[in-house]
Chain A
Amino acid sequence: MSKRILLVDDALFMRTTLRKILEGAQYEIAGEAENGQDAVEKYRSLKPDLVLMDITMPVMDGLEAARTIRAEDPNAAIVMCTALGQQNLVVEALKAGARDYIVKPFEPSRVLEGVGKALAA
């Protein structure tokens, strides 16, 4: 059975791009969320195998969403996917429980590598 992924990004373009990459690699998209609050709610209802999460989003950012999800499910697999590449944010994301940190723009192979490793961890 293919692994189910929740895509979280406020940009329709990014959700569409990630969906193409992941579906092309036989992953199932469990759902999409446009902000951190939406992501937390969809994580509870959809119970995906992995969350691919942006950081800069309205309502609730990706770091806070990752902390909230991990507080409820310490085994949640979360990979951050953001344009922000500062060292301090990478450290903060890993502290929040992210298993990998992908910087946009990305090559499709980098996304598949990050998702594959996070699911195997």
Chain B
Amino acid sequence: MKVEYIDPFVQAAFEVIAQVTGDQPTRGPLSLRDKSFTTQQVTIVVGVTGPVEGQALYGMSIVTASKIAAAMLQQEVVILDALATSAISELGNMITAHATARLAKSGIVCDITPPSVLRGMNVEVSTFIPALVVPVLTQFGKMEINVSLAEVAAVTLKAA
């Protein structure tokens, strides 16, 4: 996976989190994983399709997810119910959409799939594509961005 694919996601996360919560996040160090996985409690998964495809995963603790959802809903969130989960899911959708808009400006025009949310510790999603990981640090806690993207020809070759 090309390192330049992750930066649009980090920039998009900064932009969207600032808009929906008012927070100004910072980023932690970049790392690489052989498999796209997260050990966090709540994970939003959004697929990317087109000339570059794969997925973006946003992992966080339940506490962080609840705090972000509360900021988005502008109301207290005691449990991560359907509405709060939908808010977190939409956050992943908006970040991925804004990231693909940034990729489109570089000539890579992709579409995204509707988001899904995984709950539970040690959730592991295996892909053929290694994931680049960047922690985004917010006032609500850490959100880990995992991006596994590759050009379609490369994916086909590896899968064959």
Cβ–Cβ contact A56 & B114, under 8 A: yes
Write the nearest CB–CB distance from B20 to chain A, whole angstroms: 5
**For the complex, is A57 an interface residue (Cβ under 8 Å from B)?**
yes
Alpha-carbon gap, A52 to B21, bound state (A): 24
**For the complex, is A11 an interface residue (Cβ under 8 Å from B)?**
yes
Tally of chain A residues near chain B (CB < 8 A): 18
Cβ–Cβ contact A86 & B114, under 8 A: no
Closest to B72 in A: A13
Residue among B83, B98, B100 making CB contact with A16, cutoff 8 Å: B83
Write the nearest CB–CB distance from A38 to chain B, whole angstroms: 14
Residue among B19, B82, B104, B113 making CB contact with A105, cutoff 8 Å: B19
Cβ–Cβ contact A105 & B86, under 8 A: no
Number of A-B contacts (CB under 8 A): 57
Closest to B17 in A: A105
Tally of chain B residues near chain A (CB < 8 A): 24
Write the nearest CB–CB distance from B121 to chain A, whole angstroms: 24
Write the nearest CB–CB distance from B37 to chain A, whole angstroms: 24
Within A16-44, which residues are at the interface with B (CB < 8 Å)? Answer: 16
Within B57-87, which residues are at the interface with A (CB < 8 Å)? Answer: 72-73, 82-83, 86-87
> Does more than half of chain B's interface fall in helix, strand or loop, or is it mixed?
helix
Cβ–Cβ contact B86 & A11, under 8 A: yes
Within A61-108, which residues are at the interface with B (CB < 8 Å)? Answer: 82-88, 104-105
Cβ–Cβ contact B73 & A13, under 8 A: yes
Cβ–Cβ contact B114 & A10, under 8 A: yes
Closest to A104 in B: B94
Residue among A13, A84, A87 making CB contact with B83, cutoff 8 Å: A13
Residue among B16, B20, B96, B97 making CB contact with A82, cutoff 8 Å: B97
**For the complex, is B101 an interface residue (Cβ under 8 Å from A)?**
yes
Which residues of chain B are within 8 angstroms of A87 by Cβ–Cβ distance? Answer: 104
**For the complex, is A58 an interface residue (Cβ under 8 Å from B)?**
yes
Alpha-carbon gap, A86 to B106, bound state (A): 11
- Known contacts: A13-B83, A84-B101. The answer to whether A105 contacts B94 by CB under 8 A is yes
Apart from A11-B89, A56-B112: 17 A-B pairs, beta carbons within 8 A: A11-B86, A11-B93, A13-B72, A13-B90, A14-B86, A16-B86, A56-B97, A83-B93, A84-B112, A85-B101, A86-B101, A86-B104, A88-B109, A104-B94, A104-B97, A105-B19, A105-B94
List A residues at the B interface (Cβ < 8 Å). 10-14, 16, 56-58, 82-88, 104-105
